[in-house]
Structure 1
Amino acid sequence: MKRYINALLVISLMTLTACQSSEDNADTLSNSTATKIELNGRSYLLALPQQYQPGNSYKLLLAFHPSGGSSEFMRSISQFENLSADYIVAYPKSEQIEWNEGCDCNVAHRLGADDLGFTLQVINDVKARHQVTEGEVYAAGYSQGGLFVQNLACNLSASFKAVAVVAAPMSVQLAESCAPQQPVSVMMVHGTADTALPYQGLVHSNFGLIGSPDTIALLAGKNDGLPYALDKSLSSNVSLRSYHNGRQKFQLYSMKNGGHNWKYTDFDTSKEILRFFASAEQPELPEHSRLINTEQGQFHVRAMGQNNPGPAVVLLAGPNYNYHSDSAWFAALQPLLSEQYRVYSIDRLGNAYSSSSDELSYRRFADDLALVLQQLEETHITVVAFASASISARWFYQLHQQQFDINAMLYIDPDIPLPHSVSLYQGYPADWYKVNLDALLPHLAAGNWTQRTRDKLTLEYQEVQQLVSSNDIAIDWSYFEQIMQLRLLIPQQQARAREIAAYSADLDSYATLPMITSIPVSVIDSDFEQQQIAQVDDDAELLAALEQWQQEGSAWSAEQASVSNGQYIALTNSDHLVPLEQPLQIKQALDWLFSQLQLD
């Protein structure tokens, strides 16, 4: 073990020399001031931002040097105070040649260095000297200093908003003992060809390391992260793996063939760390996703096929039998449509990455949709509405047909605005949620339904896998997973409850509107009701009610298509999740609608 640590120290010193002699030059430090602070027999270097104002409040960043390094060296390679006017930066000096990183296996541990305690002393000392913004304390570490920063994330998480680790995986010992007091965002940066602290980990009897991919997954799990990682290729040299829990995020930037370095090709580590700190509470969005700001909140929009001409296709999601309703249902349909059309899937408030609100409903979304389309600068549109999204689509047409050129609509298993169907929709669970909403919301906030939600999502995932594999459907599984797992978050659980509670009023308003006759409306009508009918056992009244529901639904859908010169498309032996089971059928129906527009 001693030989291994000595070798690591030699490698670290060689790295320091290389850094000092090449891209990082201490002469650039003249842009800001720094003072060596003596503190209880130890020291740290305190650097103030350029144009520091004593009366202002600043964020605080602690930067930890590698084994055998110094405060001055860490400052010379990171330059944090010269890159942002928002931070006061402290560069602590280790008591021993290395930090007590939490493996209980090195010199600092054997000599009893209380580096965790010293870190708290530095934070408090800086706060005594300057105004530090509450809740805005951060840490970054390089190499063995990065190992120590992981110790901070595991054992002093309540003291930091976010931390960054460069060129360091995690020791096996810390991985086994890591127990954050509260969630903290974590960024990791590591070269895949690092030979000092290997990217894929190290098998050693005393100083074993788990790999960096396993480290970021472990830290995400310890901080209540959602299960599915988002993987992105940022350049030919840089890839990103990202987890989040709705408030904090956990990211690994992997540098292809990168060594044991602070900076890498196509990646300015210091700048990227500051960028990460500034967005520590914002989940990484999947490819093609964006957040649209309106006066009513932020809306998640997935935009694809942006170079395609013609009217935009707008996809509006409705619920499955568990009332889960978001753009995950379009993970197969949208990529297919984007080969020919400009396509947007737009999530209502409280769904996917959209912000939430206390007042949520399908009726309300009709007005929200108009705000989003304004921001997107789309005025010529065709709307595709799945299930209960027909309520939003119909109200959108009613209220905003003068503002937008709504060329056509395509309903997929729409809600049926006739008395018998409405009476069924307004029964359980809608009536139960309406009565119990006030008591349910705090019950959900306490996490009491999270496990049952997880169980339902697991079953739904399996059902979707079977659905698409049976029909040989191409689906963007990464997008599906990223959106689906958001349903586990407490705000999304509460939003679902609010929408179900408002559903009865949505239906009443929807039922007052006449059929659309001035634009073509096609309707895809699956026979998913047959599944419920087949499950009825010795209940003649319920059986009759369900059969009537199916019959009047098909009749209404056929009439709506007929009076508007649209198509009525009846599907047999079909699941309700038509966008996942039969996306090609939807595309063909949309192609037909567009062909009618061209004829006009």
Structure 2
Amino acid sequence: MKQVLFLRLCAGILLRAAGLVLWLGALAACAQAPPHEGKAQPETGLHIFTLEHDRQERRYALYVPAQAGEAPLPLVFSLHGGGVVLEDQLGTRYKSPFKLWMDLADREGFYVVYPEGLPGAYGKPTWNDCRADCTVSSSADDVGFLLQILEEVAAEHPTDRRRVYASGMSNGGFMALRLAVEAPDTFAAVAAIGAAMPAVSGCGAPRCPLPVLFMNGTADRYMPYGGGTLSNPPKASHGTAMSTPDSVALWADLAGARAEAPVHYPDLDPDDGGTVTRRDHTAGGRVWVRLYTVGGGGHAAPSLRERYSALFERYFGHQNHDIEAVEEIWRFFRAAAPAQGPAGR
């Protein structure tokens, strides 16, 4: 009898021990579960990625703001000018007003994507925008490339798909305008600096209104404010563009918007060779088109903090120091109505 009781006692102890092991194992498994279904917690800061598009390896940088978490955040594309490599857009080697998107992202809470174009006629990165008479840029499917980046980023980071924006300088500005024409359901607003609508378009006319911002200098030799032939390098053509006022009118008419009284900005730097005037075109209580005319400004993004060198200005003209371009653009984006579609990924 004692032997039977002893065996039953041992069996009970072993069963309890086995149960404890199973419970601890389950607890450990719970502790190791990811915070949100199959998604790693986003690492903040700047990351550079490659992806394959149309059988070509391409690069882009993604900045994840400090406040990134599980809530969907807006996303801004910052498109470089022709001949500008990714590192220069990020400001790692030279002054770049566009590096300030990252500071702004930390403050306001949005992702920033810096994509890189493919080599054009002179072996430097370019965008295939809508200028049908431009022979400098590559013939890549850049709209498809940018949309693929968006899908890749949104698959890993909670993204508010109703608040996706594109901003670009020069060739990048023309590319942002192509996105407005061909992907208006994806982008809530676009901004173009040193760019206008093409005079000879390979994309057709815009089919629906979209909030658009222009920021152009009246002394820009590369993208004339009054339109016409763009400054051309040897053996290639940058094509032609509409005037800035005509580009504004095209988008304003599409939205049925009328011009408001101009706003003159304080001349914070009397030595920068110019001043800034803003003019909104509104309809239904919304700003559909916003024009920043940079009087005396060259082919350069205005900036208070990231000031170009005298050598840069010798080639590209005066840089205005009365406004911060990315700050002005973000205010416009933030006020634009969200695009139609689901908020999340």
Q: Give the whole-Å Cα distance in 1 for the aligned partners of 2:83 and 2:229.
A: 23
Once the two structures are superposed, the pairs formed by residues 293-312 of structure 1 within 5 Å of their partners are none
SS at structure 2 position matched to 1:171: coil
The letter for the 1-side match of 2:172 is G
Q: Give the whole-Å Cα distance in 1 for the aligned partners of 2:244 and 2:276.
A: 14
* Corresponding residue of 2:8: none
| Contact in 1 for aligned 2:265/2:322 (Cα 8 Å) | no
Q: 1:176 to 1:152 in 2, by over 3 A?
A: closer
| Contact in 2 for aligned 1:175/1:218 (Cα 8 Å) | no
Higher normalized helix content (fraction of residues): 1
Higher Rg: 1
- Residue 116 (structure 1) aligned to one of 143, 148, 155: 143
> What is the deviation of 1:176?
8.7
Q: 1:38 to 1:108 in 2, by over 3 A?
A: farther
- Residue 117 (structure 2) aligned to one of 83, 94, 98: 94
SS at structure 2 position matched to 1:172: coil
2:270 pairs with 1:257: no
SS at structure 1 position matched to 2:140: coil
Once the two structures are superposed, the pairs formed by residues 169-248 of structure 1 within 5 Å of their partners are 169-174=196-201, 177-180=204-207, 182-203=208-229, 207-222=239-254, 224-236=255-267, 237-246=275-284, 247-248=286-287
Once the two structures are superposed, the pairs formed by residues 416-431 of structure 1 within 5 Å of their partners are none
Q: 1:36 to 1:87 in 2, by over 3 A?
A: same
Deviation sequence 1:314-356 (CA, Å, 0-9, x none):
xxxxxxxxxxxxxxxxxxxxxxxxxxxxxxxxxxxxxxxxxxx
Deviation sequence 1:126-145 (CA, Å, 0-9, x none):
11121101301000000111
Q: Give the whole-Å Cα distance in 2 for the aligned partners of 1:273 and 1:114.
A: 26
Once the two structures are superposed, the pairs formed by residues 128-167 of structure 1 within 5 Å of their partners are 128-167=155-194
Deviation sequence 1:157-182 (CA, Å, 0-9, x none):
111011111111221023992223x4
The letter for the 1-side match of 2:335 is S
Q: Give the whole-Å Cα distance in 2 for the aligned partners of 1:120 and 1:168.
A: 22
> What is the deviation of 1:191?
1.1
* Corresponding residue of 1:81: 102
* Corresponding residue of 1:275: 331
> What is the deviation of 1:258?
0.6
The letter for the 2-side match of 1:83 is L
Q: Give the whole-Å Cα distance in 1 for the aligned partners of 2:89 and 2:332.
A: 19
> What is the deviation of 1:229?
4.3
> What is the deviation of 1:63?
1.0
The letter for the 2-side match of 1:67 is G
The letter for the 1-side match of 2:139 is G
- Residue 105 (structure 1) aligned to one of 120, 133, 137: 133
Deviation sequence 1:561-590 (CA, Å, 0-9, x none):
xxxxxxxxxxxxxxxxxxxxxxxxxxxxxx
- Residue 62 (structure 2) aligned to one of 35, 47, 51: 47
SS at structure 2 position matched to 1:133: strand
| Contact in 2 for aligned 1:47/1:81 (Cα 8 Å) | no
Q: Give the whole-Å Cα distance in 2 for the aligned partners of 1:196 and 1:244.
A: 29
- Structure 1 residues 166-175 or 252-261, which shifts more? 166-175
| Contact in 1 for aligned 2:47/2:61 (Cα 8 Å) | yes
The letter for the 2-side match of 1:102 is C
| Contact in 2 for aligned 1:59/1:88 (Cα 8 Å) | yes
| Contact in 2 for aligned 1:230/1:243 (Cα 8 Å) | no
The letter for the 2-side match of 1:279 is A
Deviation sequence 1:456-488 (CA, Å, 0-9, x none):
xxxxxxxxxxxxxxxxxxxxxxxxxxxxxxxxx
Q: 1:33 to 1:127 in 2, by over 3 A?
A: same
SS at structure 2 position matched to 1:188: strand
Once the two structures are superposed, the pairs formed by residues 548-567 of structure 1 within 5 Å of their partners are none
Q: Give the whole-Å Cα distance in 2 for the aligned partners of 1:143 and 1:68.
A: 10
Q: What is the RMSD computed on CA atoms of the aligned residues?
A: 2.5
SS at structure 1 position matched to 2:291: strand
SS at structure 2 position matched to 1:157: coil
Q: Give the whole-Å Cα distance in 2 for the aligned partners of 1:47 and 1:259.
A: 29
